[in-house]
Amino acid sequence: MQRITLTQYLVEQQREFERIPADLRLLIEVVARAVKAISVNVGKGAIAGVLGEAGSDNVQGEAQKRLDVVANEILLLSNEWGGHLAGMASEELPDPYPIPNRYPRGGYLLLFDPLDGSSNIDVNISVGTIFSVLRSPDGATDESAFLQPGTQQLAAGYALYGPQTLLVLTVGNGVAAFTLDREFGTWILTEPNMRIPGHTQEYAINASNARFWDPAIKRYIDELIAGREGPRGRDFNMRWVGSMVADVHRLLTRGGIFMYPRDKRDPSKPGRLRLLYEANPMGFIVEQAGGMATTGAGRLLELVPEALHQRVPVVLGSPEEVSRIGDYYREMC
């Protein structure tokens, strides 16, 4: 059986489909190499001394894990010298990271969450990396350059560090999944066209926040809990890993809906997930796989960012379920 590598896949996207230029292909390959290095550190865990608290907080005031810091450094150092980027932005940094003057600059911006779900790393639950690529307007690297709606993304992807290390990628021409062959250090195409199944009986939400939800979300979840005796006429199962990468990868594989909706705990935070590092890249991937991504009230990718670390509510997954929540928001909120 022919084994198609990530490089071959990207060359075909460049040459045959004309979806990406050569410099974007090279940028994605650099990110993929950085992901392999992060995977090695995740796999070693305590042996490499990367577990536990780092003793510092990120820009959102959240305690950093040692592996947060390691993954962030790997992505920065791997990508700063290649000549493809004008700048980078990370969930772990307060400000954009400009390319050092000693290196050439390119025309792209790279945004990333270096270790999504890092609160789970010490208990050996799957974590991941999320990234997004934008074009730099006129080579600008200040914060305003990154404040582009998700519709402007050129590529997005995530890595999932689980029993296998996976790289799921879109360049605007569907969604492909690659598995890391650890023996050879090569990314092998294992799913050329990921599609979200239309029929679903699984949903993912942090039910401990139920008392803070909007009426539309409460109504929707109550219907699912009622099961076959309720208005939906069938039973649903709740799944919640607490790592967005793992929860979204499950729905891409088996169908379902992922929700981190707006809640009333803190009026200054209308949502919990970061628009630029988590919501937009995952929304792009889900839409390319035939799903929908919203804030509950409107299409997620059309939201114009107001700040680098802006948080938003997120509802994404199978179109039938996401549309139903949208209907409830229009009726009740």
Query: Would residue 105 count as lying in a domain?
Result: yes
Q: State whether residue 242 is helix, strand or coil.
A: coil
Query: Would residue 206 count as lying in a domain?
Result: yes
Asked if residue 59 and residue 171 are part of one domain, the reply reads yes
Beta-carbon-side half-sphere exposure of residue 283 (alpha carbons within 13 Å): 30
Distances (CA, A) of 106 to 11, 26, 147, 230: 19, 11, 18, 55
pLDDT at 36: 97
Asked if residue 61 and residue 18 are part of one domain, the reply reads yes
Total residue count of the chain as it appears in this document:
333
**Widest Cα–Cα separation across the chain:** 66
Distance separating alpha carbons of residues 78 and 173, to the nearest angstrom = 26
The CATH code of the domain that includes 10 is: 3.30.540.10
* pLDDT band with cut points at 50, 70 and 90 for residue 179: very high
Query: Would residue 260 count as lying in a domain?
Result: yes
Last residue of a domain, one of 145, 172, 191: 191
Asked if residue 141 and residue 13 are part of one domain, the reply reads yes
Question: Rg of the chain over CA atoms, in angstroms?
Answer: 19
Tell me what the mean pLDDT of segment 229-246 comes to.
95
Distance separating alpha carbons of residues 7 and 234, to the nearest angstrom = 44
Q: Which of 21-30, 43-52, 229-238, 248-257 has the lowest mean pLDDT?
A: 43-52
Query: Would residue 196 count as lying in a domain?
Result: no
Q: State whether residue 199 is helix, strand or coil.
A: coil
Asked if residue 98 and residue 235 are part of one domain, the reply reads no
Asked if residue 164 and residue 96 are part of one domain, the reply reads yes
Number of domains in the chain: 2
Asked if residue 155 and residue 226 are part of one domain, the reply reads no
Query: Would residue 296 count as lying in a domain?
Result: yes
Last residue of a domain, one of 191, 218, 244: 191
The CATH code of the domain that includes 229 is: 3.40.190.80
pLDDT at 116: 95
Closest CA to 70 of 11, 124, 118: 118
Q: Which residues, including other chains, have CB under 8 Å from residue 222's CB and lie 6 or more apart?
A: 230
pLDDT at 203: 97
Asked if residue 169 and residue 65 are part of one domain, the reply reads yes
Query: Is 80 exceeded by the pLDDT of residue 236?
Result: yes
- Per-residue pLDDT reduced to its tens digit, 40-87: 999 888 887 777 776 675 666 666 778 999 999 999 999 999 999 999
- Per-residue pLDDT reduced to its tens digit, 92-138: 999 999 999 999 999 999 999 999 988 887 888 899 999 999 999 98
Last residue of a domain, one of 191, 216, 245: 191
Cβ 305 vs Cβ 283: under 8 Å = no
Q: Which residue has the tokens 């650890």?
A: 182
Domain span at residue 270 reads: 202-332
Alpha helices in 240-318 (DSSP H): 244-254, 280-288
Asked if residue 56 and residue 14 are part of one domain, the reply reads yes
Asked if residue 296 and residue 241 are part of one domain, the reply reads yes
What does pTM read for this prediction? Answer: 0.95
Q: Which two tokens stand for residue 258?
A: 């992922």
Asked if residue 169 and residue 216 are part of one domain, the reply reads no
Distance separating alpha carbons of residues 23 and 169, to the nearest angstrom = 16
Strands 127-135 and 108-116: antiparallel
Query: Would residue 197 count as lying in a domain?
Result: no
- Per-residue pLDDT reduced to its tens digit, 6-21: 999 999 999 987 889 9
